[in-house]
Amino acid sequence: MPHTAQWKVSLHLFEDDDGTTKAHVVLNTGTTALTAHGTAHCHPVDTNVPEIGDELAAGRAMNNLAQQLLNIADRDIQNMGAPQPSTRQVAGWPM
């Protein structure tokens, strides 16, 4: 049976008074909303390139969101009574 879904992601980036770039991401599945955060700090001797801080903070927030989704999927699989594998196998490129 085919299945389609549309999930919406909102990503907000901002820099605080200390020069820390912060990312706040919200995933809305229509039935659930997950929130994740990420930060980036510019080292005092490095050139301040805001785009790099945005990329790092956003990537860290998205990584946090991805981990939350994987944890939820693992819990849902266990709740379905599937046996727990001894090692986690993930399709695609190794991380």
**Statement: residue 82 has pLDDT above 90:** no
Closest of 71, 53, 59, 69 to residue 11, by C-alpha: 59
Question: Residue 95 pLDDT > 60, yes or no?
Answer: no
Map tokens 């992601």 to a residue.
Answer: 9
Helix, strand, or coil (residue 40) = strand
Distance CA 17, CA 5 (A): 39
The model carries a pTM of: 0.80
CATH fit for domain 8-79, picks 3.30.160.240, 3.30.300.20, 3.40.50.150, 3.40.50.1820: 3.30.160.240
Name the residue ranges covered by the structural domains of the chain: 8-79
Residue-level pLDDT at 86: 61
Q: What is the pLDDT of residues 22-66, one digit of tens each?
A: 999 999 999 999 999 999 998 889 888 999 999 999 999 999 999
Computed over its alpha carbons, how large is the radius of gyration of the chain? 17
